[in-house]
Structures are given as C-alpha cells and as structure tokens.
Structure 1
Amino acid sequence: MIDLNLEEQLKKFRLSKSEYELITDLLGRGPDGLEWAVFSALWSEHCSYKSSKIHLKKLYNKSRHVLQSMGENAGVVDLGEGEKVAFKMESHNHPSFIEPFQGAATGVGGILRDIFTMGARPVALANYLAFGDPSSAFMKRLLDGVVGGISGYGNCVGVPMLTGQTLFDTGYDENILVNALAVGLFCADDPIMSARGAKPGCVIVYLGARTGRDGIHGASMASESFEGSSQKKLPTIQIGDPFFEKLLIEATLEMIREGIVVSMQDMGAAGLTSSTFEMASSSGFGFEMDLGLVPLRDSSMTPEEILLSESQERMLLVCEPENTLRIQEIAKKWDLEASEIGKVVTGTKLLLKWHGEAVLEIDPHIVVERAPMYERPFVSEIPKILAKKFEWNAAEIEQVSPSVRAARESDKSWIYRQYDQRVGGSTEQDCSSTVGVLKLPSKRSLAVSLGGRPNWVLAHAFTGGMDAVLEPTLKMSLQGFEVVGLTDCLNFGNPERETVMTQFVHSLDGMNEVCRSLDIPIISGNVSFYNETKLKSIPPTPATGLVGVRRIVDASNIPSDRFVHPQKEAWLLTLPFRELFGQEVFDLGMSLSQLGEAINLLRDMSLGGEFETARVVGSSGLETTLESMIGSEVGFEWTSETELTRKYVAYQIVFTFKGEADIFSKAIKPFGVQIDKIGRTTRGIYKVRGQYLNCRQVLEVRSRKFPLFSEEYDLGAAVFGGSEKAIGNQNV
C-alpha cells in the first residue's frame, strides 16, 4: 500500500512506483530533497531513453568514416582531405506545439549547441516538419509560428538553411513535429571536443546566459502525452536569444582552438542537472559545485529551480585552473559571463552546495547509468504487406481533405523563402532542390538529404524504415554523392502501447538493415516518444538526415533535378522495389547488395555526365513530380500510351539524357529494372491528358494551392518574447 504523500510526490515528479522502488534500492533509502528533482529529470524518457535504449544498442554505427558515434553531443565523420563534419538531428515537438515560435526557435538553438560543443563551426541547418490540416486557424498559427521561429533564430545566428521537408496529415492535428538538423565543419587541425575527460584538480566553469525560470521541468514535459489544453505547460518552454547564441559560438570555438578546455557539455534537456551529472559520471571522478555561484536572472530562484531550468545559450566547461582567467578574458571579449562554480575532486560523489551548505551528495553513476531500461511489449513478427496497401491512387486521394491534399501538392517556397539559405556564401543548392548542397573549403561538395514517410511505416513498419534510408540515398546518388553517415529523429506515440512499440522496433530494424548493407553508419540521433493527445497518436515517423560528400571539384556534369532543354525525350525508371499485383507482397525484388550496386551505378553515371535531368518521384506521385520539374520556359508533354494517374509507385526516377538513353538502358538492365519513354520536354507548354497549359500558369496554380490565407488570419502573426507582432505577409 502506497501512502498518499508518497503518491503525490510520485505524481509531482513523474516517477512510477517501480522506479521509486529502484531508487530506494540504489540509495538504500527513499529519495529526499533535491534527489526527487534529479531522478525525475534524468530518468525521464527524454533524458534516459528507458524505452528505446535496448533497441538502439543494435544500430550499425561504425564504418571507415566514423570518428565519433553515439554517446557524445553529435557524431563526427571524416570526409578525407583534412575535412571532417559533425552532425545531429533533434526533436522539439512538445515545446513547439505549446508555443510554436519559441519552441521551434530554441530547437534550432539547441541543435546548434550540440554541434559547436564538439568543436565544429555550424555551417548548415535542415528541418523536418509535420503539421495537421492547415485549414484550421489553430494549425495556421502553429505553422506560421514554427516557420517564424526557425527562420528568426537561424537567420540571426548566420547559419544557412540547406534543405527541409514539410508533411501535412490529419494525424498531426493534435501533435506537430519539429525536427532540426545541424552540420558543423572542423578545420584541418581542429580537435574533436568531448564531454568526458574531467580529472581531479580541474575547475568547473559556467559559460553563457544567466539562468532564469524558463524551461523548468521541460525534459519531463517532453516525456508525456498531452491530455488536454497545452497552455498550462507554457512555463516549461524555453526562450531563446539567437544573437547571444552567435556570441557563444564564437567564444566557445576560440576557447577550444586555444586548447584551454578539457571537456564541455551544453545545458540542454534538464539543464544544469544533465550536464553536471553526465560529465561527472563519464569522468569517474567527483564534482563539487555551489549553486549559489550560478549567474541568475532572478535572485529568488531555489536550488531545485536552478538545477532544472532550461534557460538557453548556456554551457558547462571543465578546464585546468591556470586557464580559468583566459577563459574569462575570452568570455568578456564576446560580452559573455564565465563563472567558476566548482571543481573536480577525487572520489566518485557529486556534492552540490547552496551558498556553502551541502544540499545534495550522491553518486552520479547510479542516476545516469542505472536508470531503468524497459523491454516494452511488441509483436516480434509482422507479415509482409500486400502491395495494394502502398498504392496512393485517385480514390484514396479523394478521401483526404482538399486542404491537406492541396498543402501536400503545393509549392512550399513560401516556407523556405523565409529562411536565409545563402548566408556564408557556400550554398550551391538550397531548399528549392531535392538535395541541399554546400561547397567545402577543399572545393568538393557536402550534401544533406532528408527521408521518412509515415504512410509507409503505417502500412508496413519494416519497409517504412528501409524507405527512410533508401529514398534520400537515391536522391544523393543522382547528384553524385556518397553517403557517409546518417542521423535520425524517431517520432512515435506512447511506447507503453504495443502497437506503437511494434512500429518503433520494426522501423528501426528496417533502417538498420539498409544502413548495414550500404555501409551507412547511424552516428547520432534522438527518440521522441509520447507524441499523442488523449490517446490519439501521431503516425509513426522515423525522420532521417543523410550527409554525403561528392569527391570531385568540377560539378558541371551533375544533372539538374528540373528539365533543362526542350525537345528532350523523358524516361521513367522503375526499380524492382515497387508495387506487385494480385496477392503478391510488396518486396524489394533484389538483394540489398544488388541495390547498392545499382545506386553506385546511378552515382557513377551522374558523375560521368550521362544525365541532363534526374529526379526521384516524390510521395505525391508522378504528375506532381513532373509539375515540379518544369520551368517558365521548359515544359513537358506526356506521350506514353499508358495513362498518367495519381497512383504512387516506389521507386521511380525521371530522366532526360545528354546523349542517347541506350548506354544507360544496357548498363541498368542486369538489375531487372523497367525503363520506359514517357514523353518529351517542350518550349513553355505543359501537356497532359490532352490539355495544353502554359507553364507559367501551371507554376502559378501550384503556388496558389496552399490553403493558408483567410481574411481573418494574418500569416505574419508570430509570438516572440511573449508578445504578438506581425512580421508581414509572404508571397505564395
């Protein structure tokens, strides 16, 4: 029998009875004082990964390129020629649903800190977003706020938005997704920084913004489903300052390059609690800190509030005592505070003081490493799905609301034009292309491509997981890139429900199988559970971010993803990984090793200049893809006897060739693919189903499909710093 006072404590700190019993076993007594807050934060799903850790251990995360994999703030891969990059993807779903502008903005700030904490300068951003029906005023507010938050923070901090993906589905009506990805570049001699390495005698330094009450219990909030109104959770939302972040980037990188930092951790989820406990646990030594020395925005804050605050733009550093003064000098140069708040000592205990008086003494290892690890129930075998489940034909499209269908098929330029895509001067291909591309100092190119289609995972989780890797890999290969690593954001509902856990496990297995076969290491990522409201879960959404390198300097032979010249024959390639009719199942049709060879062939022929145009058919189907490939001067005419339908078939690629198609047809034939001539490019005319349309008219119609505007709704309304202000209408 559990007493009422204990029951109230467990509810307040979001701990289960079994977790309380485990804590009691570890401590030899019940938790007391600040221990409740510490266990609550660090044993939350968001921090401990207690429902997913057992499955994440099986991920393929090593290859010849990998310098740092999971376990640090971000993964790092070697690109050769003295260049290496760090990258990671993170979710900020719950905060963005509660307060879209600040939730999305601080999501960008947080992922940037993960990158420069490693010692890499942030050079690119990407985002994966999912919204519900955009015809409602509520969803319009969320959509506008999220886009405004991302652009407001990213543009101010000076990092280009290289690519993005935006989904619309009624499954996200109650829970939206905001996943942010960042890439950072190391100079040739730059060290890779670590959160590990603290040793006795070192000093603990607090760097950055002062601590306030924003974001308290944010990690625990992100580990729960929504049960009703989200407004009561507003105090758990962090508030960001991108200009302060820019100063923090410069100061941090200067300190790292001077070699005066031993280890470093940003204060993300659970704030000072997570950074302190994780650094102490990984070092194997004791930490002594006085919370009374932490710079505060409000001097009335309690030790618990200081520990759990998720105020933004803060770092925890460990340095040798002789370097403390230099760290403070660099901080002052950049108008930042650097305060000595503790030291590393012998032993293994973490001692927290409040103005000299001990308020907590505990072994950090039992908090960080002994968190519960659950084996949630899931169905171990799922049948192969019938191919017809993957059809997206006209009948099914009609079941989707007109506003959702229009949003899916519309031109998304009104979104990405709000992002600064060219700041820094290194962007080669921006959000208007299927793959974002950045020029490296070596004159080679770096690419980022996103994947993850929830309707696939709903139909068959394993296949959907495979697709989350295969589709962006195909896009990269057509641009001549070799994929060197993958990061992910695994967005699912309540893991305590067997259906959700089954989707999670099998989609992860599908991703892992493709990555292992194609030698694509999964080097970083994030799991976001409890994306549901009143038991309604989001569609299972494993979002992926792939990073690749094109090892040539001259990219003049690389194909465009749009039609370039008129009077060119257009061809459609259909890989064996496609719809099979009758009672046959949806299957790959070739081994993964064969698929790898086919992908290599596509990359080699792309680099060799065989293709003038090459584009993977998107989820909205062939017709929408063809519309997106035309320009104001170059159109397309469908000449195939096969009727152009809305049905989606995976995987298809549209080509035009610089020469004859025969060379490619012969090279690809051993893989059992189907290649058909479907039409030709034209001068300014788009002709399908017997109708002649001016290309300019088609482009105008596509741009107007998005159901965003009404007389009552101002697209520019956004919330920043708690006050509403208009930022101006966007042309769509």
Structure 2
Amino acid sequence: MLPENDFKLITEEMGREPNIVEQGCFLNLWSEHCSYRSSGPLLKTFTTTGEKVIIGPGDDAAIVDFEDGWVLAIGMESHNHPSYVDPHNGAATGVGGIVRDIISMGARPIALMDPLYFGPLNTPKNLYLFEHIIEGIASYGNCIGVPVVRGEAFFDETYSGNPLVNVACIGLARKDSIVTAKAQQAGNKMILMGSTTGRDGLGGASFASRDLSESSEAEDRPSIQIGDPFTEKLLIEATLEVVGAGYAKACRDLGAAGLAGASSEMASKGDLGMHIIADNVILREKGMIPYEILIAESQERMLFEVEPQNVEAVLAIAKKYDLNASMIGELTERPYYTVDFKGETVVDIPIKLLAEGAPTCEMPASSPAEKISWEKPEMPADLKRSLVEVLSSHNVASKEWIYRQYDHEVQIRTTVKPGDDASVLRIEGDRGIILSCGCNPRHTMIDPYQGGKGTVYENAMNIAVKGGKGLALVDCLNFGNPERPEIYWYFKQAILGLGDGSRELGIPVVGGNVSLYNESDEFDTAILPTPSIGVVGTTNNVAGTPLSLFANEGDTIILVGETQDELGGSEYYSLMGKKMDGIAPKVPENGTKIVDSVIKAVSTGKVTSSHDVSLGGLGIALCEMCTCMGANVDLSKVCEGLRADDALFSESYVRAILATSEPKAIEEALRGVTYTIIGTVGGDSLKIGLDEISIELSVSEINIARSSLTRQMME
C-alpha cells in the first residue's frame, strides 16, 4: 500500500483517489530505489560534467568520449536484496540488468566488474550465499560472452544478513550510433521485445526499498527475477541490429518497476504522453491482471520507440533472433500515462506526476556519539606471524577461486587479467582502458568523509600504477536505513567525500545507483557504509603496462608516498579485535600530485613492476609482489617515528611501490613528492628490515598464505 502522505499528495494532484493499479505504479516508481527520494538532493552535489562527458546521469548508462569516434557506455547497479533471498538468480539478474542498460544505449558490452561484500565464511548460510552469488555471476556473464575482468570480495559480519552484489558494465560504440531513453515524437509506436512477461519480479523496486527480515526468503521470493542468459545474448544482438539500422528512436531497458517504469520514464523525458495497450503484451502465464503486467520485472526485455513505417522491420529482426515482440502502444501529445486492458482504461495518470513527481528531501542527520577513548594495542612479539595472518585473511588473500569461475578472456581484449590492481583492455591499436572498482567500508565507518574521498583516490592509484589516468566514475552507494539520522549522516558525509575526491582528481561522477535499507532484522544490524565505485581510465600504451610482480633481478624498489600511524579500520587491527579503533587514513593534501607523479613515472616506460599499497598495508603489498621472485627491503626510513607494525600495516592512502632498473629516471619523474628507495629485487624470499627487527618469508610461504581462500573452497 502507498504511504499515507503519498496517497494524499497523489489524490490532491489527480483530483481523485488512485485506483489499485495506479497505486502499484506509484508505489514502485516513487520508491527510493527508482526516485532517489532521500538521496537525490545529495547526489546533486556531484560534478557530473567534463570535457569527455557526452551523457551524464539520468539515462540507462553514461556515455563518455574515448577517441576517433569511439565512445564508452558506463553503468553500475546493485542487486543486494534479491541476492540474499535467492543468491544465484539475484546475482545473475544483476549482471543481466546492467548489461541491458549498456545495450539500450546502442553500445556493445565489453567488460564487467563485480564488487561483492559478504559475511564471514564461518557459517553454512554465509558460505551458501557466497558460493551461489559467485555461481550466478559466472553462469550469466559466461553465457552472454561478456568478460568479468575486475572485482572485489570484502568480508565483514555486518553483511551476514545482507550481502551486497554490485555490478559495473562498460560498453563500446561509435558516437553516431548512440540512442537514449528520451522519447522523440508523438505517434511513434512502442515495441516490447525479448522474453515474455510473467509474474517474477513483482514489486522488485519497492522490495529493494525496505529492510530484510527473517521471513524474507519465503515472503519475498516472488519479487526475485529469474534470468535467462541465452535469451539475453539474443537480445544483445537484436538490439544492436535495431539500433544499427536506425530504427530505434529511443530505447529503454525494462528494469526496476518493469513496463510501467520504462514506458512512463521514456515518455516523460521527451515531454510526451504514453498510451499502453496491456492486452498486446505477450504473457508467460495465463490470467495476469494489469497490475502484474505493468509492475512485473521479468528479465531480458527491451522497449523501443519506432516510427510507424519501421514497425514490421523491427518485428522481423525479433523473429530472426527467435525473440518475442509486439507493438504495445504509442506516444501521445496528451501528457498522461494511460493503460487500456480489455477495452477499459485502468490507468490514467499525469505522466510528470508519475515519473518525476515523487517529493524529495534531505533526511535528518546526526553524527554518532563520540567514541570512548581507546589504547593502542601492544606490538606483537612475532611480527612475521602477524604478517602471515593478515596475508591469509579472506580480505587480503588471493581471490583466484572467485575469478577462475569467470571467463575473463572472451572477446580477446583483456591484456591485464583479474587479480591485479586494475584490469586493462585493448580498444584499438595500443590504446585501451584501465578498470578499477571497490572501496574500504571499515575506513568509511570510522570517517565517512575521508573514507569516501579515499575511495576515489584508491581507485585512481590502481589505474595510475598501470600508467593511466581516470576518465570517469560510477558509484553504487550501499547504506542502511536513511530514516535513521546516524545512517543518513554517514551517507551524506561519504557522498561529500566522494564528490571532493572526484573534483580534485578531475574524474566526473557520470552515473550510478543508490541502495538503501541494507539492514537485517535477523542480525539486528546495518551494513558498514559501503560507497563502492567503478572507475574507467585510459592508456595509450597497453603493451607497456608494468607487471604487478617483481620480475627483474637487481631492480631498485621505490616507495612513493608517506606512511602514517593510520591503522583505524585496517585489516591488522581487525584481526586483533580492534576493527573500529584508531585513526582512519586521510587523503594527503598533495594526493593529486602523487597520483600524477606515479602516472608520469610509469609513462617513462622504465618501470618494470608497480603496485598500489592499500588493504593490509606496505608489508602485504611487498608480499604480493614477491609471488615469483623475492626482494631485500629496508624499511628503517619508513619507520622513522613509527612502530614497526605501524610501518608494515598502516593503510595510508596514495602510496605505490615501483621497481626499475633505471632509478635516476624514475626519481626525476617523482620530483616534488615524497619517495624512498627501500631495497632491491632478487632471491627466493622477502627480507624486511625495520631497525633492529627483521622478517623473512620465502616465496613459497607467501604463496601458501595467499591461497587460504582457494584452499578453503577446494576442501
């Protein structure tokens, strides 16, 4: 049922009470998921324009300029609630939905990224969710032939009752082939193509705008869409053929709020009305009523605006690909959303009221109470053991078991594969794109502003160590119930931090998604504040991308950036039972200059190996670089003013490790920022000296520790 205030407002605007079908339309289109009621005012603070931005937020996906007539389509979505109730189908349809957002713009999808957040794998339920979410993503992405090239898997108990499945997709198109969701002309016909419409996914948008409860798995299963990747593959090809032939005047994916959402939003964007004949929708199940036909979120469906003379040609393309298709209505001058069924008008709503009329406002916000003072824990006597424990923790250990489920080489563009700081895809010649994603929710929990800002810098540095500069970013803002002032405060501060970070680095926020109400009655907790993002960067030297591993005996190792006593939210403190204690990292004032200096250094072509320093700290980054060849490192200069464990495990932002056989050239590129020569590459073990403390780990010991997640999943 509609909230009382909404019902009153709609009744006043329409001059009558909405009937039950109309209420269903409003319930879904006015949901937080569709209308950004509490988040819209904050999202307006983002800088969304730039020299390369062709289409920013508001369409199915953003469009940014690449070069020579090529453009990139970029989008990011969440499928969190459905993935808890039905992990395989929830995750699979999350992939399908974001891919359709890309093809609806006329672009071919070329890459996927999947930042994922789970509860610890020490319970059967969490293990079940983990395995089946990965399975759902793999089965769908592999079947449609779109590689999953980058991701994240972060584990914390707050996600036990509410795992997060965020998916980003990147597409490629010629600039002159792009279409949008803005309706063009009254009298043009609407064609619905793809799967039949069934009762699956009923009320998915409204379902995504409320908390989960213990009964969710049974009660909410009808809200979960069922995907068919084989139909999606056909729909990709059919859509691109319709667009390529010039038949599509506008196009929109059927996602949240189903047909009611796609058709009303398309018309409203074009300042037109829409007349739908619900009888013409091809149904999967008998006896469906208008409410179900309009609101169902059945997958693999696309809506096209087509000129009358081209209707038969579009239907013929659908037939060629063995897809269902029918003409279901037309655009009108009358600015109303009208639906007829069995000769009766069942919906007649002012279209702007339905598609754009949901009232928005900032919610009350208050910062949490001051934390009780804490004492810095004593440094363990055996730092080697601590290093191994952090290295083998699920958050730090290799995610090979996950990405081995994915086909990351299909389309043969991927030159740097999953498991690295960022993935690299060749677009044309030696030009390509660099992709990074994710965030550190524990940092955001301690300091949401710096955590949000640091999220942008961390992803920018992942791209920088591959020699690229950020082009654009999309976000997936995952938080708890915004009606709670403390949650809304975290939400607001993280958005402000993201916005400032993106402006400083010159990376516009071109699109994204907000996922709120990520709370579980079962575990009586909200998730950590999780402002996950996906960043696309560019490079003109795909072939010259440095390795992330040490590979050249005798190379000089250089640490770029400063290490501070900033262990709050670190993996090290978490394993010590101090997860939310301490000072979280802050982005240094010269953060932009450091990122630019790393790009400059890598662009010399004289960097053999490069790696970002982030989760786990400097000690972990060195271990990750020593999986094939060792190194001899002296961290005494890094340790000045710090304890040895601070130097090893601090997660200070904007740091990188570079290895080179020509250190003078790299030092010249790094002029003006802090850097330290810390050692040389070689041998079969990592030797770390910290004043009077020394640690040695063989390459074999490092690889065994890093394989902990894979070993658990194979047992």
Report the counterpart of residue 577 of structure 2 in structure 1: none
Report the counterpart of residue 546 of structure 1 in structure 2: 535
CA distance in structure 2 between the partners assigned to 1:341 and 1:229 by the alignment = 37
Amino acid at match of 1:61: T
CA contact (8 A) 2:98 2:167 kept: yes
SS of the residue aligned with 1:299? Answer: coil
SS of the residue aligned with 1:408? Answer: coil
Equivalent residues in 2 for 1:520-539, closer than 5 Å? 520-534=507-521, 535-539=524-528
CA gap of 1:403–1:131, structure 2 versus 1, over 3 A, is farther
SS of the residue aligned with 2:622? Answer: helix
CA gap of 1:318–1:422, structure 2 versus 1, over 3 A, is same
> Which stretch shifts more, 59-68 or 516-525?
516-525
CA contact (8 A) 1:631 1:684 kept: no
> Which stretch shifts more, 354-363 or 637-646?
637-646
Match of 1:659 among 658, 661, 665: 661
Match of 1:117 among 97, 104, 114: 104
Match of 1:224 among 210, 217, 240: 210
CA distance in structure 1 between the partners assigned to 2:52 and 2:378 by the alignment = 38
CA contact (8 A) 1:293 1:355 kept: no
CA offsets 1:562-602 (integer angstroms, 9 cap, x no match): 11123333232233787499x99965442xxx433332221
CA gap of 1:586–1:182, structure 2 versus 1, over 3 A, is closer
CA distance in structure 2 between the partners assigned to 1:494 and 1:595 by the alignment = 33
Equivalent residues in 2 for 1:61-140, closer than 5 Å? 61-140=48-127
Unpaired segments of 5 or more residues in structure 1?
1-12, 710-730
CA gap of 1:145–1:584, structure 2 versus 1, over 3 A, is closer
Equivalent residues in 2 for 1:315-714, closer than 5 Å? 315-379=302-366, 406-534=393-521, 535-552=524-541, 555-556=543-544, 558-575=545-562, 579=566, 587-590=586-589, 594-632=590-628, 634-641=629-636, 642=639, 643=644, 646-651=648-653, 653-665=655-667, 667-671=669-673, 673-677=674-678, 679-688=679-688, 693-705=697-709, 708-709=712-713
CA offsets 1:14-66 (integer angstroms, 9 cap, x no match): x3222222112211222213111111111111111101011111210000000
CA distance in structure 1 between the partners assigned to 2:495 and 2:369 by the alignment = 14
CA contact (8 A) 2:454 2:586 kept: no
> Which stretch shifts more, 529-538 or 143-152?
529-538
CA distance in structure 2 between the partners assigned to 1:602 and 1:524 by the alignment = 27
CA distance in structure 2 between the partners assigned to 1:99 and 1:584 by the alignment = 38
CA distance in structure 2 between the partners assigned to 1:631 and 1:536 by the alignment = 38
CA distance in structure 1 between the partners assigned to 2:57 and 2:145 by the alignment = 27
CA gap of 1:293–1:391, structure 2 versus 1, over 3 A, is farther
> Which stretch shifts more, 239-248 or 352-361?
352-361
CA offsets 1:409-452 (integer angstroms, 9 cap, x no match): 32110000000000011111111211011000243011111131
Amino acid at match of 2:606: E
CA distance in structure 2 between the partners assigned to 1:211 and 1:580 by the alignment = 52
> Which stretch shifts more, 455-464 or 512-521?
512-521
Shift of 1:346: 2.2
CA distance in structure 1 between the partners assigned to 2:98 and 2:374 by the alignment = 39
Amino acid at match of 2:663: A
CA gap of 1:625–1:40, structure 2 versus 1, over 3 A, is same
Shift of 1:83: 1.5
SS of the residue aligned with 2:605? Answer: coil
**TM-score, normalization: structure 2?**
0.90
CA contact (8 A) 1:134 1:707 kept: no
Shift of 1:309: 0.7
SS of the residue aligned with 1:505? Answer: helix
CA offsets 1:114-168 (integer angstroms, 9 cap, x no match): 0000000000000000001111110000000000000000000001111111101
Shift of 1:657: 3.5
Amino acid at match of 2:620: T
Shift of 1:358: 1.5
CA distance in structure 2 between the partners assigned to 1:403 and 1:595 by the alignment = 26
CA contact (8 A) 2:252 2:262 kept: yes
CA distance in structure 2 between the partners assigned to 1:73 and 1:656 by the alignment = 39
CA contact (8 A) 1:572 1:654 kept: yes
Unpaired segments of 5 or more residues in structure 2?
569-581
CA distance in structure 2 between the partners assigned to 1:444 and 1:162 by the alignment = 17
Amino acid at match of 1:618: S
CA distance in structure 1 between the partners assigned to 2:215 and 2:319 by the alignment = 43
SS of the residue aligned with 1:360? Answer: strand
Amino acid at match of 2:621: T
Shift of 1:226: 1.2
Shift of 1:692: 5.0
Report the counterpart of residue 720 of structure 1 in structure 2: none
How many residue pairs end up in the alignment?
685
CA contact (8 A) 2:119 2:160 kept: yes
CA gap of 1:94–1:424, structure 2 versus 1, over 3 A, is same
Shift of 1:609: 1.9
Equivalent residues in 2 for 1:209-248, closer than 5 Å? 209-231=195-217, 232-248=219-235
SS of the residue aligned with 2:652? Answer: coil
Amino acid at match of 2:419: S
CA gap of 1:602–1:696, structure 2 versus 1, over 3 A, is same
CA RMSD of aligned residues (A): 2.9
CA distance in structure 1 between the partners assigned to 2:503 and 2:708 by the alignment = 43
% same residue:
35
CA gap of 1:654–1:466, structure 2 versus 1, over 3 A, is closer
Amino acid at match of 1:636: A
CA distance in structure 2 between the partners assigned to 1:549 and 1:167 by the alignment = 26
Report the counterpart of residue 290 of structure 2 in structure 1: 303
Shift of 1:286: 2.2
Shift of 1:548: 0.8
CA contact (8 A) 1:577 1:589 kept: no
CA gap of 1:655–1:388, structure 2 versus 1, over 3 A, is farther
CA contact (8 A) 1:386 1:585 kept: no
CA distance in structure 2 between the partners assigned to 1:52 and 1:600 by the alignment = 32
Amino acid at match of 1:702: R
Q: Is 1:193 aligned with 2:179?
A: yes
Match of 1:50 among 37, 59, 79: 37
